[in-house]
Structure 1
Amino acid sequence: MGAVARDVHGHLAAATSTGGMTNKRYARIGDTPLIGAGTWADARCAISCTGHGEYFIRAVAAYDIACLMEYKGLSLEEACRVVVHDKLAPAGGEGGLIAVDAAGNVTLPFNSEGMYRGSRTEGGEALVAIYK
């Protein structure tokens, strides 16, 4: 899937690898290589997405999270919830994302049955999970 990170200076980065859906068509290109759809990083947040890429592309999902934080003042967790559950799910897009903000808050929302995910906070708290 991908990785998001915040360094000791507060700089954010996102790295997203292809994966997405099981049994996808051969030679299919999804949201992963598209900045703003499958991956995004700026001074506010870093996001890496996985799932039904066509829906993430239409929603410009990763960038939309940053915009919701900037324009509506939403927290990282709330902006991610809006995109994953209120925007993608009703349109038929399954999947999720991992995200971190400049304060080091991490969220890993998904609307599918499961999503391989893991995180480790600055204090060393670790999370590894697949299902809800």
Structure 2
Amino acid sequence: KYGTVGAVALDKAGNIVAGTSTGGMTNKRYGRVGDAPIIGAGTYAANAVCGISATGHGEYFIRAAVAHDICARSTYKNINLQAAADEVIQAKLVAMGGDGGIIGLNPTGEVIVSFNTTGMYRAGINSRGERFVRIYAEP
């Protein structure tokens, strides 16, 4: 009812999982399906690469297969997850006219975020036990 809740996690066996739940879009058309239930758009996980949970204008995330594209770019271009996420969220999605962001996790437990909006509620804890809670872009 109040927005998207997304989570990514890594267990001690190295399994990465991602999940996304959404409150939906205000004034959405009846029968609209957003990106949250579509694997590869709003949610994606692959143990060897990453876990991604997304929030934003779902139609753009579906068209761009945002969550999967981030993981694929990291693999195929051999770049870190943050760089791959920024390519998709800050460039590809913006060029399409889409707003939103992601929270992601790589196989070593590094938490990454990328968003092209004023803020995105997010929190995390990394493999070293360091925690963060943020709303806006860091200074």
* TM-score above 0.5, yes or no: yes
How many pairs does the alignment contain?
131
Question: Which amino acid in the other structure matches residue 123 of structure 1?
Answer: R
SS of the equivalent of 1:70 reads: helix
For 1:51 and 1:20, locate their aligned partners in 2 and report how far apart those are by CA, in whole Å. Answer: 10
Q: CA deviation at 1:26?
A: 5.4
Q: How many percent identity over aligned positions?
A: 49
CA-based RMSD: 1.3
CA distance in 2, matches of 1:2, 1:73: 26
- For residue 73 of structure 2, what is the amino acid of its counterpart? L
TM-superposed CA distance for 1:17, in Å, is 0.6
Segments ≥4 residues shifted beyond 4 Å: none
Which one scores higher on RCO, CA 8 angstroms, separation ≥ 6? 1
Query: CA separation of 1:46/1:57 partners in 2, compared to 1, >3 Å: closer, same or farther?
Result: same
Other-structure match for 1:82: 87
Give, in whole Å, the separation in 2 of the partners of 1:25 and 1:61.
Answer: 21
Does structure 1 residue 17 correspond to structure 2 residue 17? no
Deviates more, 1:26-35 or 1:49-58: 26-35
Per-residue CA distance 1:74-123 (angstroms, 9 max, x = gap): 11010000010010012111000000010111111100111111111122
Q: Which runs of 5+ in 2 are unaligned?
A: none
State how far apart, in whole Å, the 2-side matches of 1:128 and 1:69 are: 25
